[in-house]
Amino acid sequence: MMQLSKRLEQNSLIDSKITFFLNQLNTWYTQNKRDLPWRQTTDPYKILVSEMMLQQTQVMRVIPKYDAFLSRFPTIEALAQSPLSDVLSLWIGLGYNRRAKYVHQAAQYVVQSYKGIFPNTVEDLITIPGIGPYTAGAICAFAYNKPVVVIDANVKKVLNRVFGVDVCDMPKLLKKLLDEKIMQPRDFYNALMDVASEYYARGASLEHYPFTQICLWSNGHDIVELKTYKQSKFIGSNRWYRGQILKMLNAIPTGELKFSDIEELNESEKYVSAIEQLLAEKLLVRDSVKIYLAK
Ligand code: ADE
């Protein structure tokens, strides 16, 4: 076991790194924050729309779509009452059209079950169809300014590069960072997203990078490599993709998946090779535009 004095020394090193990190982040953010349209609101409906659009689509492409979407559906009731086809046609250009369906479903559910007023806890929010843990957390942080854990690709990159932690240790670190109360949760998460976008794009300059003194990555240290998407050996394995396809086909009332839908899936190339196998094994059948389960 590590000597107590050494352990205490290490703890205080981590604590001073945390305070330094937060003070740097806070100062940097005050001077460099981006003025994004969804930062001018605390309306959970608008936050939901922005977060659904921002998953997998770049900020610059989202901005005009976000504005157009809210002009057409200014309230959750307006969205809930509109046919899905209207929602889909506004979503075109963002890709991942299933997200349009999720936003629409979520709106209808909140109108029916909560009279249009969003709940304000992660536990309640994740019970809404179409809202997963990330979106629930983002709504709590951005709409309600609650100190909850929110981990997206940006947050992951900052914590991994500065502190060298893997995803499984991030909730604990985020709680510690929020507990310091140096930054408000809303600002804190916005700041992490801004830092990632400013400094972690390929070829970005590290001039004025706020974490130069403490960042493991910018100082050339080895850091644990972030696993993308998969958390276990099974998740992300070929067997897992095959299972996902069969589950999806089972869950879809028509029992069919169009090639265009498959192309929109995250990691679609992995789905495609799993589908090729399932076709070769005659578990699936295809025609010119879709696949379906063999009868
Ligand atoms: N990516 C995901 N959510 C975001 C947000 N609120 N601002 C900027 N980028 C994001």
pLDDT at 233: 64
The tally of CA atoms less than 13 A away on the side-chain side of residue 178 is 20
pLDDT at 122: 95
Query: How far apart (Å, rounded) are the C-alpha atoms in residues 250 and 216?
Result: 46
pLDDT at 82: 97
Model confidence pLDDT, tens digit, residues 235-290: 678 888 888 888 888 888 888 998 888 877 777 788 888 999 889 888 889 998 99
Tell me, using a 6 A CB cutoff, whether residue 165 lines ligand 1. no
Model confidence pLDDT, tens digit, residues 57-72: 899 999 999 999 999 9
pLDDT at 260: 85
Tell me, using a 6 A CB cutoff, whether residue 141 lines ligand 1. no
Residue closest via CA to ligand 1's atom 9 equals 193
SS3 state of residue 286: strand
Query: How far apart (Å, rounded) are the C-alpha atoms in residues 82 and 69?
Result: 12
Query: How far apart (Å, rounded) are the C-alpha atoms in residues 223 and 127?
Result: 36
Distance of CA 130 from the midpoint of ligand 1 (Å):
18
Q: Taking the model in full, what pTM does it have?
A: 0.77
Residues in the chain where the model's pLDDT stays below 70: 1-2, 227-233, 235
pLDDT at 227: 66
Q: Which of 34, 36, 61 to mutate to test the pocket of ligand 1 (most atoms within 8 A of CB)?
A: 36
Active site residue 269: no
The one catalytic residue in 51, 123, 267, 281 is 51
pLDDT at 244: 86
- Whether 47 and 138 have beta carbons less than 8 Å apart is answered as yes
Tell me, using a 6 A CB cutoff, whether residue 193 lines ligand 1. yes
Tell me, using a 6 A CB cutoff, whether residue 126 lines ligand 1. no
